[in-house]
Amino acid sequence: MAPTTTPGSRVISSFLARTGLAARAALALAALVVAACGSGAVSAPPTTTTPGPISVSPSSATVYSSLPTEFLVTGGTGTYFITSSDQAVIPAVGLFEGNVFTVVPGQVVADTNVTLTVRDTGATAPVTASLVVKPRTVSNIVTVTPSASQSAACGTSICAGGDAEVKATLSLGGVPLRNHEVRFQVVSGDFRIITSAAGSSEATGLTGTAITDDTGTARIRIRALPDAAAQTGLIQITDVTSGAFTRAGINIAPSSNAPLNAQPNRITFEGRDASTCASGIQADVIVFGGRPPYQISQPGNFAINTPQVSTSGGRFTVTAIGNCTAGSTIAVVDSNGATVPVLVVSTVSTSIVPPAPLVVSPTSVTLDTCTTEANVAVAGGLGRNSYFVASGSNYVIAQVVGFTGNAATVNIRRAPVGTPGATLSSPVTVGISDGQTVREVTVNLVGPAAGSC
């Protein structure tokens, strides 16, 4: 019985039968040559996929002047052009890579319709987002004034159990908005809106309303909870008519007779290599107890971000500036004159191992079409979380796209720009760095990649 063969094997067998021994020898030699070349000698053609449809969310929204609004875009090629039908109100985003973009509408005096159009760099159908831009009538300036009867120890914060006036102003085009209802709402924090009328028993809630006067000002009172810890609450103030809003912080100081304390009271910085004391490294110190506000001294060997901490539970930041010291003292002094020290040391490291040299491979790549991509491996230096890239040309895009262990991959491709008919200068240099060392990759543009893409 004849063996079963595939159609391909039958053709080969028939061919060998016709060509004889010499042809068989030639084919065997060719097979040996191919085998010697290895599997890497012939590259499979790149796999191409058809981009999915572009989607933008939200596709319709009400936004407010000066308030940032985020949009999510997916599909297409992943590189987009975002244009605006009214750039005086919402500027065009332009060329954009990623999935989230933010728009900040400009000032308007009436509801204004704006259409955002999202296109990709391919042939995917564009999509639009329809926006209604409303005037922002609520001022960013919100005044919080604690009662004059509260303890001076709380400074400008509201003492736990104390009260304060919150004042906001509404206007449109510089004209105060009178008789507008304004809603005050607790977003977070241990305080409440006082909702009862003056002279009556106090009632509180998470929401309260007020009406603007002739100057466009609305006022309410708030009460900090008696057991509130040191914190910053958040209040939202909304113009009920337009929906425009703003948010402001509410600083609360605790009622405490605890002794003055600062933690940690000892900080040790070590340099990043065996020849340098620490520089640029930071540590926070929390101050509590005693009587706020607290004054913070400034030692010569370190930088302190603020000369004063206003509330119990507040903090200041100590930054090493490269000076070696066996011990510098930062004094924390409260309003009663009580003092606690914070000792800060900066030494030469004896345990930190210098990083391995930064390396990239290959150091030269070629782009021969508008869609060709090249990958460069990067390793060493300060490690994977420190890598970043910079292209020496607007016509080449380079970005870190993936990590393997402590190494990463940098993807290089043509940017979808260029003057029609023009030939771009080549090569282009791409710099890859870990923040302290730079390695260069030469990008050669040939063929279609050297023209308009």
Provide DSSP, 129-169.
EEEEEEP--B-S--EEEE-TTS-GGGTTSEETT-EEEEEEE
**What pLDDT does 198 receive?**
79
Which of 134, 167, 186 lies at the terminal end of a domain, its last residue?
A: 134
**What pLDDT does 424 receive?**
79
The reply to whether 240 and 273 lie within a common domain is no
The reply to whether 247 and 267 lie within a common domain is no
Q: List the structure tokens of 395.
A: 């016509």
Q: Report the amino acid identity of residue 242.
A: S
The answer to whether position 288 is within a domain reads: yes
384: DSSP letter = G
Which of 134, 159, 185 lies at the terminal end of a domain, its last residue?
A: 134
**What pLDDT does 273 receive?**
60
**What pLDDT does 193 receive?**
96
Query: Which residue, 181, 195, 168, 187, is CA-closest to 239?
Result: 181
The answer to whether position 108 is within a domain reads: yes
9-48: b or e for each residue (b if 16 or more CB lie within 10 Å)? eeeeeeeeeeeeeeeeeeeeeeeeeeeeeeeeeeeeeeee
The reply to whether 240 and 180 lie within a common domain is yes
Per-residue pLDDT of 390-423, as tens digits, reads 877 788 899 998 887 778 999 999 988 766 767 7
The answer to whether position 72 is within a domain reads: yes
The answer to whether position 49 is within a domain reads: no
Residue 91 CB coordination number (10 Å): 15
The reply to whether 279 and 336 lie within a common domain is yes
What value, to the nearest 5°, has the Cα angle with vertex 230 and ends 225 and 232?
85
The answer to whether position 23 is within a domain reads: no
Per-residue pLDDT of 193-218, as tens digits, reads 999 987 788 899 999 999 999 999 99
**Pairwise CA distance, residues 286 & 302, whole Å:** 17
The answer to whether position 311 is within a domain reads: yes
Low-confidence ranges of the chain (pLDDT < 50): 1-41
The reply to whether 154 and 246 lie within a common domain is yes
Domain span at residue 371? 359-450
**Pairwise CA distance, residues 254 & 191, whole Å:** 12
The reply to whether 181 and 238 lie within a common domain is yes
List the CATH number of the domain containing 366.
2.60.40.10
The reply to whether 155 and 212 lie within a common domain is yes
- The number of domains in the chain is 4
**Pairwise CA distance, residues 210 & 370, whole Å:** 61
The answer to whether position 21 is within a domain reads: no
The answer to whether position 35 is within a domain reads: no
**What pLDDT does 15 receive?**
36
**What pLDDT does 272 receive?**
65
